[in-house]
């Protein structure tokens, strides 16, 4: 039996438009939690947010990530544009008003998020250390019985 499709409600669309809370690398050991959106390259280009001279580089960054064949100044400019369009809360302006500047790692994480969503951020998140086996499993089991 097939599942009936339902039209996405306007309420659901409005919630999606707010963006998602995601963990980004911080400026120190503390993670940076922000609300991010996923802008469209075509939308940014059509609105004139990405200058025509950078469209080729922007397409490479959006499709392949940052690579050696894109000028580093253009990479920064594109990353900055993407961050400005992606960060819903706090905004880039608010971060700078607080006296901080987005790090290279944060900019690259934001680019990854715009391309792959939450999965794109996995490589930027610290791995948890394996917990040590204390051998107390059987003691806990016996106490529970």
Once rounded to an integer, what is the mean pLDDT over residues 3-24? 91
What's the pLDDT at 144? 47
pTM: 0.69
Q: How many CB atoms lie within 10 A of CB 122?
A: 10
Query: Cα-flanking dihedrals φ and ψ of residue 78, to 5°?
Result: -65, -45
> Which is higher by pLDDT, 28 or 2?
28
Once rounded to an integer, what is the mean pLDDT over residues 13-23? 90
Which region, left, alpha or beta, applies to residue 33 given φ > 0 means left and ψ of -120 to 50 means alpha? beta
What pLDDT digit, counting tens, does each position of 95-129 carry? 999 999 999 999 989 988 887 765 555 655 565 55
What's the pLDDT at 64? 66
């Amino acid at each position: 039996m097939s599942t009936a499709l339902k039209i996405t409600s306007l309420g659901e669309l409005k919630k999606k438009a707010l963006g998602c809370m995601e963990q980004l690398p911080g400026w120190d050991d503390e993670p940076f939690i922000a609300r991010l959106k996923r802008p469209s390259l075509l939308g940014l280009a059509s609105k004139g947010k990405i200058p025509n001279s950078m469209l080729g580089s922007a397409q490479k960054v959006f499709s392949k990530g940052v690579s050696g064949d894109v000028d580093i100044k253009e990479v920064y400019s594109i990353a900055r544009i993407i961050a400005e369009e992606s960060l819903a809360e706090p905004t880039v302006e608010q971060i700078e008003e607080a006296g901080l500047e987005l790090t290279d790692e944060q900019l690259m994480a934001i680019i990854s998020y715009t391309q792959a969503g939450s999965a794109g951020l996995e490589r930027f998140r610290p791995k948890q250390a394996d917990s040590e086996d204390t051998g107390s499993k059987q003691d806990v089991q016996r106490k529970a019985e």
